[in-house]
Amino acid sequence: MNYIGKILPVDGYYVLLKGNLAIDYTKSLTHLYQPLIGMQAVILYQTLLHEIELQSNEEPQTHHTLMNYLNIPLDAIYQARLRLEGIGLLKTYQTDKNKYTYILQSPFSPQEFFSDGMLSELLYHHVGEMKFSHLKRHYARCHMHDYGKNITVSFEDVYQTFYPSFESKKPIADNQIEQSPRISNIDFTWIEQMLKQRMIPVKKILTKSNRKLISQMRLLYDLATHEIEKAILWALTDENILDPEEFKAACQDLFKTQQNNTKIQLTDKVSNPNQPTNLKAATKEEQLIYELETISPKQLLEDLSSGNHASIQDMRAIQEVMTTQGLPAPVMNVLIHYVLLQSNMKLSKAYLEKIASHWSRANLKSAKEAMAFAKRETERYQKYSKTNKFRNTKSKSNEVIPDWFKERKKKEKETSKRNEKTNQQAVNEEKEKEELMELLRKHSSNKQNNHLQG
């Protein structure tokens, strides 16, 4: 990807540090973060960190100086900056057109790093099982203390800030759950419904830590909601507890099956071919494809219902069709859109299942493919219907024929018959004439022979 021109050498920047660095942060950067983000990103982090005490409050530092420090081109510095931002080590703010503020985030300590499901899983894929096990054992040993059983009471066990009422407690919204910058949002509504249908305690499974892990694994392996549901069911113990290691292994197996054993690596993100570079200048079809690629089926239903909540019946129908046929969410969005348009905005489960089975056999993977396939099928159906209508009209015509047309046809038929009769008479006369001439020739020949014999 070309990063030239994203920032200029004359652009200035200030550096700030959020929080305090852990004592062993350099170990985390070197042994744990560096395999994921590369050497240049780690060097950029350390350079910015040690520039804090040297910078002036009046004049910002320029990126040209940073280029001289690191001895690398500006586009490489920009790429390293993006990697730090993506992994959660840097936040960037643009104060003016050509001034930036870089706020460094404290790296995880080794113990915190291995407690983070996504980072530890990524490190496993980058360094291999042997090196990963060695690092984990080493840093776990550094923090291994046998203090016995933890019996410390919590704040809620001792204090209360108000007298409780008898009103029911409101559920905590998904967006209130603390998430790191690298975790994508996930709609847990479908997962909750799936667990309730199977009489599995939702609160016991979808704890704060489990929701964070589920979101991380979904982002890491790019899994659809129905695939996350499968992984959860596979990872449940007999006591209905989600085993984190079993869940991660299940997600990895699903990814291998889907991507044909593609290797997991942190790489620079490639632009989505379905996302228009300029949404305002894009065609309506490109904008629709982008929306169908990024939105969830629940959000799509609510948008098509002018913001009203999607009904439980519709959501259950979509979930059953989607999980049974294994359709990706973008393809399911196109299917919902198509069925609603064809059925006067009614969502028929039978119609959904009929088309979904066809699309599943067609192995559609994206909204763009599904829309093109739906167009072809619609055009073919319209062409077929038009042809049949023409044939039926021709064979079962009830059109009123005027009398003059009938009379003309009758006269033409009579004329044709007369002409045919006349032609036949001429042929007969010609034939009779030839037969008569033949008899005369024979008669003349016999008469001449008799004369010669006499």
End-to-end CA distance of the chain: give it in Å, rounded.
123
- What is the domain partition of the chain in residue ranges? 12-109, 187-267, 284-388
Alpha carbons 110 and 17: distance in angstroms, whole number: 20
Alpha carbons 215 and 230: distance in angstroms, whole number: 14
12-18 and 99-105 beta bridge pairing: parallel
Q: pLDDT, tens digit, for every residue of 77-112?
A: 999 999 999 989 999 998 877 889 999 999 998 888
**Average pLDDT value for residue range 42-60:** 86
pLDDT tops 90 at residue 48 = yes
b/e sequence 22-52, b meaning 16+ C-beta within 10 Å:
bebbebbbebbbbbbbeebbbbbbeebbebe
pLDDT tops 90 at residue 119 = no
- List, in order, residues 6 or more apart from 296 with CB less than 8 Å away: 187, 225, 329
99-105 and 61-62 beta bridge pairing: unpaired
CATH class of 12-109: mainly alpha
Beta pairing partners, 91:
103
Confidence class of residue 213 from pLDDT cuts 50, 70 and 90? confident
Task: Report the pLDDT value the prediction gives residue 41, as an integer from 0 to 100.
Answer: 93
b/e sequence 207-232, b meaning 16+ C-beta within 10 Å:
eeebbbbbbbbbebbebbbbbbbbbb
Task: Report the pLDDT value the prediction gives residue 181, as an integer from 0 to 100.
Answer: 35
**Average pLDDT value for residue range 444-449:** 56
Strands (E) located in 127-220: none
Which own/partner contact pairs does 352-361 have at CB distance under 8 Å and 24+ positions apart? 352/317, 352/318, 352/321, 353/321, 353/324, 353/325, 356/321, 356/322, 356/324, 356/325, 356/327, 356/332, 357/325, 359/325, 359/327, 359/331, 359/335, 360/325, 360/326, 360/327
Where is mean pLDDT largest: 32-46, 141-155, 401-415? Answer: 32-46
Confidence class of residue 166 from pLDDT cuts 50, 70 and 90? very low
pLDDT tops 90 at residue 46 = yes
pLDDT tops 70 at residue 417 = yes
Alpha carbons 309 and 307: distance in angstroms, whole number: 7
**Average pLDDT value for residue range 31-49:** 92
Task: Report the pLDDT value the prediction gives residue 260, as an integer from 0 to 100.
Answer: 61
Chain centroid offset of residue 208 CA: 26
Angle between helix 189-197 and helix 312-325 axes, rounded to 10 deg? 80
Q: Global pTM? A: 0.51
pLDDT tops 60 at residue 146 = no
Could you count the other beta carbons within 10 Å of the beta carbon of residue 387? 10
Task: Report the pLDDT value the prediction gives residue 43, as an integer from 0 to 100.
Answer: 94
Q: pLDDT, tens digit, for every residue of 324-358?
A: 787 888 888 888 888 888 888 888 888 888 888 88
Task: Report the pLDDT value the prediction gives residue 102, as an integer from 0 to 100.
Answer: 92
Percent of the chain with pLDDT over 70: 70
CA distances from residue 135 to 87, 220, 342, 382 in whole angstroms, order as listed: 20, 21, 58, 64
Using DSSP, state whether 145 is helix, strand or coil: coil
Alpha carbons 132 and 139: distance in angstroms, whole number: 11
Range with lowest mean pLDDT among 39-48, 115-124, 336-345, 431-440: 431-440
**Average pLDDT value for residue range 131-141:** 83
Range with lowest mean pLDDT among 256-270, 316-330, 394-408: 394-408
Q: Are 226 and 322 in contact (CB under 8 A)?
A: yes
Q: Specify the residue for token string 């080794």.
A: 110
pLDDT tops 90 at residue 313 = no
